[in-house]
Amino acid sequence: MNTVYLNGRYLPADEARISPFDRGFLFGDSVYEVIPYFRGTGFRLQEHIARLEHSLRAVRIRGDLDWVGILDQLVTLNGGGNLSVYLQVTRGDSGSRSHVYDADLEPTVFACCAPVRDFASIATEDVKGLVAIVTADLRWRRCDIKSTCLLPNILVVQQARDHQADEALLLRDGLVTEGTSSNVFVVRQGVIYTPKRSSEILGGITRELVLELADENGIQYQETDIDYEALMAGDEVWISSSTRGVLPVTVIDGHPVGDGEKGPLWARMFELLTRYQRKLMTGE
Ligand code: PDD
C-alpha cells in the first residue's frame, strides 16, 4: 500500500518529491478530496469528482485530468479492496515565494491510499457513541471549497481531543455549521434536521446520500438553521463523512444527547447506508 501518484507517475511513496516552492506547501494554495473505495469500487466517485472540479474552478486552479482513470489505477496498484484515496491538486511550483501567481503554472497532482473499513462489516451494536464539544467556527467563509488550509480544523479537533472528545461541532453567528471533518444532523420527534447547503459548509457526499436515503424511505427531513439550543435539545445528533459513514453523537459539552444512547433513527439510517454500501460492493 505504498504506491502513490505524483504528476503522471505511479511510484513508491518514499521516492515522491515535491519542490519546497510548491504553492501547496508554501500557502496551502491547493484543494483536495478523500474518496473511499470499497472492494475496489469508488464510493460516489462521480459526485466526489464533481466536487473536486467545483473546488478547482472556485480557486482557479487548472485541472482537467482523467481523475477516475488515475484513481482507479492507483487503487489497483495498491491491491484494491477497501481503501481511502487522498487526492490533492496544488496550484503548482512557482520557483520562488510570491503571493501573486502565474496563471500558466502546471498544477501538482498527488494521490495516495490508506486503509478504510466498510460499514457493512460493522454491527450496529459495535458502533460507539461519540463525545463532542461545541466551539467557534474560525474558518474562512468559503467552506464549500475543499481547501487544504485546514489549520482551524486541526486546532479545533485537537481542542476536542484535549477534552477527551472525539469531534468538535462548529458554531458561527449562533448557528451550527458542521464538524471539523463531518456534516451534522439533529433528530427531533422523528424528523432529521441539517444545516442548509451554503458556502459556510462543505457539501458532504454522505450528507447528500443520507438525505436521499431519507427521501426514498419516507423519513422526514428539513434543511434549516440549527442554533445551540436546538442542537442540545435534539433526541439524536449524528455526524457523517464518506470514510466514517453516519455516526451517533451521544454526549455534547458534557450533556447526554436525548437519553444518552444511540438513537433508533440513527440505527435505521446506519442500516440503510450499510445496505447501500453492500450493493455497491457486490454490484447487485
Ligand atoms: N472530510 N465537512 C468537512 C469540513 C469535511 O472535511 C468533510 C470530509 C465532510 C464530509 O464530507 P463527505 O461526506 O464528502 O466525506 C464535511 C474528509 C473526509 C477529510 O477531510 O478527511
Could you tell me if 102 and 220 lie in one domain?
no
Cell of 122: 460493522
Note whether 145 and 85 are same-domain residues: no
Co-location of 159 and 106 in the same domain: no
- Per DSSP, 147 falls in state B
pLDDT of the residue at 119: 83
What stretches of the chain show up as alpha helix (H) in DSSP?
Answer: 23-27, 45-59, 67-77, 151-162, 205-216, 228-232, 264-282
73 and 209 within one domain: no
Per-residue tens of pLDDT for the chain, all 284 residues: 699 999 999 999 999 999 999 999 999 999 999 999 999 999 999 999 999 999 999 999 999 999 999 999 999 999 999 999 999 999 999 999 999 999 999 999 999 999 999 888 899 999 999 999 999 999 999 999 999 999 999 999 999 999 999 999 999 999 999 999 999 999 999 999 999 999 999 999 999 999 999 999 999 999 999 999 999 999 999 999 999 999 999 999 999 999 999 999 999 999 999 999 999 888 87
186, 97: one domain: no
Q: Which residues are catalytic?
A: 146
CA of 202 from ligand 1 middle (Å) equals 7
Output the ligand 1 site: residues, CB below 6 A.
34, 178, 181-183, 202, 204-207, 240-243
13 and 41 inside one domain: yes
Atom of ligand 1 nearest to the CA of 86: 21
Q: What atom of ligand 1 comes closest to residue 207's alpha carbon?
A: 13
Residue closest by Cα to atom 9 of ligand 1: 182
Whether residue 131 is found in the same domain as residue 110:
no
Considering the domain architecture, whether residues 39 and 153 belong to the same structural domain is answered as no
Grid cell digits, residue 250: 451521544
Residues 132 and 49 in one domain: no
| Confidence (pLDDT) at 1 | 63
Residue 163 structural domain: 124-282
Distance 68 CA to ligand 1 centre (A): 19
Centre of ligand 1 to C-alpha 241, Å, is: 5
| Same domain flag for 22 and 145 | no
Q: State the Cα–Cα distance between residues 79 and 5, nearest whole angstrom.
A: 14
Is residue 73 located within the same domain as residue 135? no
pTM: 0.97
Strand segments (E) across the chain: 3-6, 9-12, 30-38, 41-42, 83-90, 108-115, 130-136, 167-172, 175-179, 183-188, 191-194, 221-223, 236-241, 245-252, 255-256
Total domain count for the chain? 2
Ligand 1 mutation pick, 47, 116, 182, max ligand atoms within 8 A of CB? 182
The three-state secondary structure class of 139 is coil
Q: Are residues 148 and 215 in the same domain?
A: yes
**Lookup: cell for 236:** 439524536
